[in-house]
C-alpha cells in the first residue's frame, strides 16, 4: 500500500505546484501589460522556491534523530493552513515590475508552495528511510513527481483554462492542497521510520567538481527552456498555452531519463542531438520570416527536447547514492535558479536581442560527446573565410541570390557539422558562425538603436531611405529620412491606411476630436489629426517613448499639429483613471511584436472602453497578426455590448507609406456605420465569428492560425 501512496502523494504535490504556475502568471498578466517577461519572472520565483525547499529538506535530513525531521515538516505543513484559501491578487507596478511580481508571489503564495515544493526530495527521502520498504533507489519516484507536473501543465491550456474560470481554478486548487496535507501527514505519522538518520562519512561526500557538473547539467536545459519560451511567446502570445509547451517538454525529459526503464536510449540521444541542431540554426541564419511560425516553433521545441534528454540523461546517469540524495536535488535546483536569474534578470541587461538563447545552445555543445579531444584549427579558419566572402563579395558584383539565399552561411554550417570532431572545435566554429549571424556589424541594415527591457526588444535601423522601427520581428512604423533643413512634412508617411477614413469622418462631425490611443509606436498615427484635436497616447514601455521622441530617428511627434500627451502605463490600467464618456475615438494598437495582450480583449475590458467613449463614440482595434485571429473575440465582446462590429483587411501600399493591416471597429453610431459601409473595404462581421473572453476565462486554441 505504501508503495502506491508515496507515488500518489508525489504526483499530487507536483500537480499542485505546476498548476499554480500558469494560474498565478495568468492573474499577473493584466497588471503588467501582458508582456511575455511576466512568465520568465514567475519561473524565476518558482525555481528559487524549489532551491529554498530543497535546502530546507537538506537541512532537516541532517537531524540526528529520525523523528525530528518529520515533526518539523508536519509543523510547517500545518502552519501553511493559515495561508488558505489562496486567492491571488497581485500588486501592480511599472517602475520595477520584476520586483513587484516577485513580491506578490512571495507574500501570497510562499509557505504553501514551500510545502509542496519540498515534496520531491522529502518524500523520496522518507521512502528510503521507511522501515517497511527501505528502498536503495528511490529516484524512480522523481519520474512520478515529474509525471504529475506534466499532467498538470498539459491539462491546463487544453482542459482547465478552457472550461473553468480563474475563481473556480483557485477553489479546486485549495481543495486539492488540503487533500495533499492529509495524505502527507498520514504518510509521516502512520509509517515506521529508522530511529536514527544514517551518519555521513567523508568517503560518502560529493566532490565540488561533481556538484558543479550537476549544476551545469541542470542549468543548460532550464535556460534553454526559458529561451525558447521567450522566443515563442514574443511572436505569438503571452498566454499559458505557449508557456506550458516548453515546460512540459522539459518535465517530460526528466520523466524519461529518470524512469527505471527509459524507452529512449541515452546513446541514441548522444548520436543524434548534433544532427537535430541543424534546424534551429538554419532558422537563425535565414531569419524568423523564413518559415511559417508553427514550423519554426516545432524546430526549436524538438531541438530543446533533444538537448533536454541529453543533459537530464547525464544527470540520471551520474546520480549519487541515497545518502547524497538531498545534495543532488539541491544542485539541480541551484542550476534552475541560476538559469532563471540569467534569463530573467541578467539577459535583458546584457543583451540587446534574445542572444541568451543561441548563447546557451553554444554552451550546450560542450555536453555533446565527440570522438576526438584535439582542437582542429582548419575548421574555424575555413568558417571565417566563408563568412567573410559572404559579407564582402556581394558588393563586388556577385549574384545577389547567393547572399539572399544564405548559401555560404549554410555551407559553413554543413562544413562545421561534418568536419568538427571535438567539442572545442565545434564550440569555436559555431561561435564564429553565430557572431556573423547575430552581431549588428554584419547585418545589412544600418542599426541606429537597439534596446531591450522587461517589455521586449526594440530596434531602429536605416534602410532604403527609411528609418524603420521593429519590435522583435514585427514592423511597427517607419519614416522617410528627411534633410535636416527640410521642414515640409508628408503626412502619408507610414500610417495604416484603414484608420484615415474613420478619423476623417469623425473630424467632420467633431470640431475638436478627443482620442485615446493604446500604443505609441513611432507616433505615426498622430499625424492624421488636426491642430484642434486632442490626443492621449498610452504606452507602457519607456524605451518606446524615448525612441519616438528622438528627432534623430522619427519626427512625427514634433512635426504633427495635434495636441499630444503621453502617459506611461498599461492602456487598461490608465483608462480606469480617466473621465467617463469623454472620448470620441479609442484606438488599440498596443500589440508588441505579434504577441497579444490578452487582458485588453476581454469583455470586461470592452465594457471599460465603452464607458470611456461618448454615446456615439468609436472603438478601433488593430488586429493584424501572423499567428492569431482575434476577430471572433472582439466580435463577441461587441455583440455582448450591443455594438455594431465592422471589419476591414487592407493590403497596403508601401509607395504611399501604407502598411498591410487588419482592423475591427465597434460603435453604436449608425451614421458612422453607413459612412464606412459605403467604402467597399469595410463589412459587417458574419454571425458565426464570435468567441467571448472574460478576465477569468480565455481560450487561445480556436483562434490559432494553423
pLDDT band at 656 (very low <50, low <70, confident <90, very high): low
Reported as a single tens digit per residue, the pLDDT across 532-583 is: 999 999 998 899 999 999 988 898 898 888 899 999 988 888 999 999 999 9
pLDDT band at 62 (very low <50, low <70, confident <90, very high): confident
Reported as a single tens digit per residue, the pLDDT across 349-379 is: 888 777 888 889 888 888 777 766 677 788 8
Q: Are strands 644-650 and 683-684 parallel, antiparallel or unpaired?
A: antiparallel
Residue 685 neighbours by CB under 8 Å, 6+ apart: 631, 635, 645, 646, 647, 664
**Residue for grid cell 525529459:** 253
Q: In the CATH scheme, what is the homologous superfamily, with its name and number, of domain 499-703?
A: Vaccinia Virus protein VP39 (3.40.50.150)
Reported as a single tens digit per residue, the pLDDT across 152-172 is: 878 887 788 878 888 899 999
CB < 8 Å & 24+ apart, contacts of 388-395: 390/436, 391/436, 391/442
In 10 A of CB 439, how many CB atoms? Answer: 10
In 10 A of CB 194, how many CB atoms? Answer: 13
- CATH topology for 2-367 is Growth Hormone; Chain: A; (1.20.1250)
- Mean pLDDT of all residues in 103-116: 88
Better-predicted residue by pLDDT, 203 or 103:
103
Per the DSSP assignment, residues forming a β-bridge with 620 are: 587, 665
Reported as a single tens digit per residue, the pLDDT across 9-20 is: 888 988 898 889
pLDDT at 647 over 50: yes
Whole-angstrom distance, CA of residue 427 vs CA of residue 126: 43
Q: Are strands 613-622 and 583-588 parallel, antiparallel or unpaired?
A: parallel
The answer, yes or no, to whether the previous bond of 85 is cis (omega within 30 of 0) is yes
Q: Are strands 466-471 and 474-480 parallel, antiparallel or unpaired?
A: antiparallel
Contact between 701 and 244 (Cβ < 8 Å): no
Among residues 347, 358, 352, 342, the alpha carbon closest in space to that of 431 is found at 358
Whole-angstrom distance, CA of residue 124 vs CA of residue 624: 51
Contact between 664 and 587 (Cβ < 8 Å): no
Better-predicted residue by pLDDT, 607 or 201:
607
pLDDT at 618 over 60: yes
Residue 127 neighbours by CB under 8 Å, 6+ apart: 6, 133, 135, 138, 141
Range among 132-146, 279-293, 464-478, 626-640 with highest mean pLDDT value? 626-640
Amino acid at each position: 500500500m505504501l508503495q502506491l501512496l508515496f507515488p500518489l502523494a508525489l504526483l499530487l504535490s507536483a500537480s499542485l505546484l505546476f498548476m499554480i504556475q500558469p494560474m498565478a502568471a495568468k492573474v499577473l498578466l493584466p497588471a503588467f501589460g501582458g508582456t511575455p517577461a511576466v512568465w520568465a519572472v514567475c519561473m524565476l520565483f518558482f525555481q528559487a522556491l524549489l532551491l529554498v525547499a530543497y535546502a530546507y529538506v537538506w537541512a532537516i535530513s541532517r537531524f540526528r534523530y529520525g523523528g525530528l525531521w518529520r515533526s518539523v515538516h508536519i509543523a510547517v505543513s500545518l502552519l501553511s493552513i493559515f495561508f488558505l484559501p489562496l486567492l491571488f491578487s497581485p500588486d501592480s507596478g511599472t517602475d520595477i515590475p520584476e520586483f513587484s511580481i516577485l513580491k506578490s508571489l512571495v507574500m501570497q503564495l510562499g509557505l504553501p508552495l514551500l510545502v509542496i515544493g519540498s515534496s520531491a526530495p522529502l518524500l523520496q527521502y522518507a521512502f528510503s528511510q521507511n522501515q517497511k520498504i527501505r528502498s536503495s533507489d528511490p529516484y524512480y519516484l522523481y519520474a512520478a513527481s515529474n509525471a504529475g507536473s506534466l499532467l498538470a501543465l498539459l491539462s491546463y491550456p487544453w482542459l482547465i483554462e478552457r472550461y473553468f474560470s480563474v475563481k473556480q481554478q483557485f477553489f479546486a486548487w485549495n481543495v486539492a492542497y488540503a487533500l495533499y496535507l492529509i495524505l502527507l501527514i498520514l504518510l509521516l505519522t502512520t509509517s515506521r521510520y529508522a530511529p536514527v538518520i544514517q551518519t555521513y562519512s567523508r568517503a560518502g561526500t560529493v566532490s565540488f567538481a561533481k556538484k558543479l557538473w550537476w549544476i551545469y547539467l541542470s542549468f543548460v536545459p532550464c535556460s534553454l527552456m526559458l529561451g525558447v519560451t521567450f522566443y515563442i511567446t514574443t511572436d505569438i502570445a503571452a498566454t499559458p498555452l505557449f508557456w506550458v509547451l516548453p515546460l512540459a517538454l522539459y518535465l517530460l525529459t526528466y520523466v524519461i531519463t529518470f524512469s527505471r526503464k527509459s524507452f529512449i536510449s541515452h546513446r541514441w540521444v548522444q548520436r543524434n542531438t548534433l544532427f537535430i541542431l541543424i534546424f534551429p540554426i538554419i532558422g537563425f541564419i535565414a531569419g524568423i520570416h523564413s518559415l511559417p511560425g508553427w514550423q519554426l516553433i516545432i524546430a526549436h521545441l524538438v531541438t530543446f527536447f533533444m538537448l533536454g534528454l541529453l543533459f537530464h540523461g547525464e544527470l540520471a546517469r551520474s546520480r549519487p547514492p541515497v545518502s547524497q540524495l538531498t545534495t543532488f536535488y539541491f544542485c539541480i535546483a541551484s542550476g534552475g535558479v541560476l538559469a532563471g536569474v540569467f534569463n530573467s534578470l541578467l539577459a535583458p541587461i546584457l543583451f540587446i536581442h534574445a542572444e541568451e538563447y543561441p548563447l546557451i545552445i553554444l554552451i550546450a555543445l560542450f555536453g555533446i560527446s565527440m570522438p576526438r579531444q584535439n582542437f582542429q584549427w582548419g575548421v574555424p579558419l575555413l568558417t571565417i573565410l566563408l563568412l567573410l566572402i559572404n559579407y564582402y563579395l556581394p558588393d563586388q558584383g556577385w549574384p545577389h541570390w547567393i547572399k539572399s539565399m544564405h548559401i555560404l552561411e549554410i555551407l559553413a554550417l554543413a562544413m562545421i557539422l561534418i568536419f568538427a570532431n571535438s567539442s572545442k572545435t565545434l564550440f569555436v566554429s559555431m561561435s564564429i558562425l553565430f557572431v556573423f549571424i547575430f552581431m549588428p556589424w554584419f547585418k545589412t541594415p544600418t542599426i541606429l538603436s537597439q534596446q531591450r527591457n522587461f517589455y521586449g526588444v526594440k530596434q531602429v535601423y536605416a534602410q532604403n531611405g527609411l528609418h524603420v522601427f521593429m519590435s522583435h520581428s514585427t514592423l511597427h512604423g517607419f519614416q522617410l529620412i528627411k534633410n535636416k533643413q527640410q521642414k515640409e512634412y508628408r503626412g502619408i508617411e507610414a500610417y495604416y491606411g484603414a484608420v484615415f477614413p474613420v478619423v476623417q469622418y469623425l473630424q467632420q462631425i467633431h470640431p475638436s476630436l478627443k482620442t485615446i490611443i493604446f500604443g505609441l509606436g513611432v507616433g505615426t498615427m498622430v499625424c492624421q489629426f488636426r491642430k484642434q484635436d486632442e490626443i492621449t497616447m498610452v504606452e507602457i514601455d519607456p524605451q518606446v517613448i524615448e525612441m519616438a521622441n528622438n528627432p534623430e530617428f522619427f519626427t512625427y511627434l514634433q512635426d504633427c499639429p495635434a495636441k499630444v500627451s503621453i502617459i506611461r502605463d498599461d492602456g487598461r490600467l490608465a483608462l480606469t483613471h480617466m473621465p467617463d464618456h469623454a472620448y470620441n475615438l479609442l484606438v488599440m494598437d498596443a500589440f508588441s511584436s505579434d504577441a497579444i495582450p490578452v487582458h485588453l480583449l476581454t469583455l470586461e475590458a470592452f465594457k471599460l472602453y465603452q464607458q470611456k467613449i461618448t454615446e456615439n463614440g468609436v472603438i478601433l482595434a488593430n488586429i493584424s497578426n501572423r499567428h492569431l485571429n482575434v476577430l471572433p473575440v472582439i466580435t463577441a465582446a461587441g455583440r455582448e455590448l450591443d455594438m455594431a462590429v465592422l471589419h476591414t483587411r487592407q493590403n497596403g501600399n508601401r509607395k504611399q507609406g501604407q502598411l498591410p493591416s487588419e482592423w475591427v471597429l465597434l460603435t453604436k453610431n449608425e451614421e458612422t456605420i453607413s459612412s464606412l459601409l459605403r467604402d467597399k473595404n469595410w463589412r459587417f462581421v458574419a454571425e458565426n465569428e464570435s468567441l467571448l473572453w472574460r478576465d477569468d476565462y480565455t481560450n487561445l486554441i480556436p483562434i490559432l492560425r494553423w
